[in-house]
Structure 1
Amino acid sequence: MNIAEMMADTTLPERLSAKFTDTFAYQTVKDRLPIILTKVINTLYTFRKQAAQKHGEEAVQDCKTIVSRLSKLKNEMQTDKPVLPLTPLTDIEEHDVVIWNGYLEEEVFRNKGEPASFFQSAWLYVECYMYRKIMEAIHLSTALQSFDPFGEQKRNALLQSLQAVTLLSNYLEEHAHDKPDNAQQAFDQFVQISLWGNKCDLSISAGVENSQKIDPIGPLQNLQSHILVNDMHKLFPILREARAKDPAKKVRLDIILDNAGFELFTDLCLAEFAIRAGIVDVVHMHYKAMPWFVSDVTYQDFMWTIDTLQNHRDNLLSSLGKSWHRRLSSKQWDISGHKFWTTPHDYSEMKQVSPDLYEELSRSDLVLFKGDLNYRKLIGDRSWEHTIPYAEALCGFHPAPQCALRTSKADLIVGLPEGLSEELTSKDKDWMVTGEYAVVQYCGMRNL
């Protein structure tokens, strides 16, 4: 971002920050992030015996060193110390570090030259920085560089949701032979199931068990009243029109994934139905390049999920796992983890920071952005008026027709009808952060 762009940035609503003490951002930096760091520290401390068995005694020292680094980070956060620049660990990481340190310079500029500290900086930046520092501490180790401190929690989130997984698998089979001409109702159902799968979020619960215990299909009708903006009906026609416009072209759906566990399974079922019903030809799914926001999907999480299903004793789950392996092999499903997804930049900056990713998304017929973090990055994590149009809040991010599927877990939202925010606040002042309400917000503008 150049000086002119940074000056223009000041004409937009201010970014959410912990410097405002009556906000969810403040509660997050003050309480929730230190709790997450403490849980990672405890995980490393508990893991040390297992680490010694796997990697030898040097891994025990690794655990102690990582704990020391994370304890220092926790203290710096809680005492509002300045955020420190990152140092590249390898030549491969150098570009990533340039992006991070460049963002820190911008944050200092926005802070009128004052050091960017944890409580004074943009909340989105601080939260992303914490996860990046966790991975830096682990990557500096000798034997534990590939260790995912959130891995066990994510695996348990799926294993503890197997009853719901089985119910959804059967529902998928019931609609296995739906054809494009009459598939919209079922497609919308799978979109809504994917939407509410987003309620299972370990970063919001600070790592406390958060799995799907109930039937994911039965409550859908009643939950529709909790979708405050619902553009779901616009999605199927966009894909149908793409097919009609060029029958020889492969219709492409992109899903920007959010959480592992049950939510990922709902996303995979949506992708499977869309292909089986002939609505799309290929599905591109985008995961995180490193462990991120506790429960976000990494490559390892994605493959573990499919492997676990393939080896399950339930025939239907096993059949699904095998089918999904074949989809990956045939490239009907394509998965990738661009590093832009794990930077502090919002998506209006993608075209400048990672033009290759922006260009890749522009090839899609529809992009679905899953979850709260994607939503925050879509609208810049700014204190927008709640009635501002969604397309306006995107600040020019229009690579392709796109839709946000988000259950609300942060105190920002756009595109609401006049008076709705006030009505909800009168009933529950915390309605924006509980995950009880959702939006399905579509923008069809492209490459503006």
Structure 2
Amino acid sequence: MRDRHPALIDHIRAAHPYGPTQLAALDRLQDEAVGAPMQPLDAAPDSAAWAAWGANYFGKPWSQAPFLWAESYFYRRLLDAVDFFTQGPWYWIDLFAHLKTAELRDPTLEPELAALEHILDLPPQKRTEVLLLASLWGNRADLGFRIGVEAAVGNHQDAAGLIADDTAPVLSLLHTGPQPIAVIADNAGRELLADLILIDHLLDQHGGTTIELHVKPAPYYVSDATTADVTACLRRLADTPGASAAIAGHLRAAMQDGRLALRTHWFYCAPFSFHRAPADLTQMWEPAALVLLKGDLNYRRLVGDCGWAPTAPFQEAAGYYPAPVVALRTLKSEVVVGIDAKTVQDLEDHDPAWRTNGSRGTVQFLARRM
């Protein structure tokens, strides 16, 4: 609240030609976030919901609200400040689109996407492993394909920094035959490219497989994926000759015939963990033979944004979830469970920032509840 959010507001001001109304609203939000009491939303379609959710926090310092709640509300207020939901010239204009576009236009993507040609030569199960790990590490600068290849042919712990690795049972489940799969996306840009390439492979290896790709209903947490980001990634793949363009064609065809479907839900931008997911959202998850849950924020929402001991069992934290789930996560926040005590001690001794510096990852799997 003191450092990152004011810097983000400054960046948004500089990136867009907002007028006096939006600039004044951004100034008010910045002043409020660093010292003034938290205020409710002005008139908005969802103001009643936020008024109920924030009844215990409005009028108090932002720091007195749970961190996940306060973060989510900050991004909702940011959209309000720039008239994202207001009919007019800024209606539904993604204030983070320039950052996402720059990532997709990065020239270093070309050689990384070219690595796909080599991955397609791998045996199917090895290819699944490589693309699964690429999806996990996808928001790193190299898109994750090279890391994925190294991990799949060597030692996961050494090559990819995995500190919890349930890759084997996940691969076994993914290779049992056609089945419904859900992917709950995290970041747009490079990570979403990696997700789409994995989805294409999963659809291709079993003809009857169906996949639902869940994205955010509105811009959220700077880089979170929306439907617009899916279409931008498909265009980026289509513009790259060879395997990438072919994958874009496969995915478009799969969307047209219903094997791949986009899904969203208002709760994906709500300020709560998935323990409070409404029934219509859990009913989307329940039919899946496997839910691939992407990223750090979704991990926090899966286990609860709580002060867990890192050795607490993953089953204890996520056992309520209504479908088999694998958390593919790069650590960028303190919350983590399911790590063995020796690994935790080694990390504390040699890399004190291991929970937040993005150098470690987890593949944590939980089978369907009995």
Q: Same fold (TM over 0.5)?
A: yes
Per the alignment, in what secondary structure is the counterpart of residue 197 of structure 1? coil
Partner of 1:104: 54
CA change 1:99–1:404 in 2 (3 A) is farther
2:258 to 331, 338, 363: 331
In structure 2, the residue matched to 1:256 is: 184
Show the counterpart of 2:167: 232
Return the alpha-carbon distance in structure 1 between the equivalents of residues 327 and 43 of structure 2. 34
Match for residue 309 of structure 2 among 382, 385, 410: 385
Amino acid across the alignment from 1:443: L
Superposed counterparts of 1:168-247, under 5 Å: 168-175=115-122, 183-199=124-140, 212=143, 215-220=146-151, 221=154, 224-225=157-158, 226-241=161-176, 243=177
Q: How far, CA to CA, are the matches of 1:287 and 1:130 in structure 2? A: 20
Q: Is 1:411 aligned with 2:334?
A: yes
Deviation at 1:262, TM superposition (A): 1.1
Q: Deviations over 1:64-87 (max 9, x none)?
A: 3212111211111111x3222224
1:164–1:212 Cα contact (<8 Å) kept: no
Q: TM-score, normalised by structure 1?
A: 0.76
Deviations 1:314-361 (A, max 9, x none): 2443332222211111111111121110110100111xxx21010110
Residue equivalent to 2:13: 41
* Contact 2:130–2:149 under 8 Å retained in 1: no
Alignment coverage as a number of residue pairs: 363
Report deviation, 1:170. 1.3
The alignment's TM-score, normalised by the length of structure 2, stands at 0.91
SS class of match (2:327): strand
- 1:368 equivalenced with 2:292 (yes/no): yes
> CA 1:172–1:63 in 2, change beyond 3 Å: closer, same or farther?
farther
The alpha carbon displacement at 1:260 in A equals 1.0
Where 1:124 maps in the other structure, the secondary structure is: helix
In the other structure, the counterpart of 1:66 is 22
**Higher alpha-carbon Rg:** 1
Superposed CA offset, 1:91-122 (max 9, x none): xx34xx343222212x44xxxxx944211211
Cα pair distance change 1:144/1:228, threshold 3 Å? same
Preserved contact between residue 130 and residue 145 of structure 2 (Cα < 8 Å)? no
> Pick from 78, 83, 97: which aligns with 1:134?
78
- Tell me, what secondary structure is at the counterpart of 1:425? helix
Unaligned runs of 5+ in 2: none
- Alpha-carbon spacing, 1:169–1:433, altered in 2? closer, same or farther (3 Å): same
Q: Which residue of 23, 40, 53 corresponds with 1:85?
A: 40
Aligned to 1:413, the other structure's residue is in SS state coil
Residue 114 of structure 2: aligned partner: 167
Aligned equivalents of 2:232, 2:67: Cα separation in 1: 32
Which residue is 1:282 aligned to? 210
**1:146 and 2:73 matched:** no
Q: For each residue in 1:276-313, what CA deviation from the matched residue of structure 2 results, as whole angstroms up to 9, or x when unmatched?
A: 11186111101111111111111111111112322x15
- Partners in 2 of 1:230 and 1:317 — Cα distance? 28
Distance 2:297 2:289 in 1: 22
Which residue type is aligned with residue 172 of structure 2?
P
Contact 2:287–2:323 (Cα < 8 Å) also in 1: yes
Paired AA for residue 224 in structure 1: Q
Identity of aligned residues (%): 26
Q: Provide structure 1 residue ranges, at least 5 long, that are not aligned to the other structure.
A: 1-28, 49-61, 109-113, 201-210, 244-249
- Gap change, CA 1:298 and 1:442, over 3 Å in 2: same
What's the C-alpha RMSD, in Å, of the aligned pairs?
2.3
Within 2, Cα distance between the matches of 1:291 and 1:338? 13
Is the 1:165–1:262 contact (alpha carbons within 8 Å) kept by the matching residues of 2? no
* CA distance in structure 1 between the aligned counterparts of 2:144 and 2:336, rounded to whole angstroms: 28
Residue 218 of structure 1 deviates from its aligned partner by 4.5
Paired AA for residue 260 in structure 2 = W
Note the C-alpha offset of 1:410: 0.5
- C-alpha separation between the residues in 2 aligned to 1:228 and 1:103? 35
- Find the aligned partners of 1:280 and 1:213 in 2 and give their Cα distance: 28
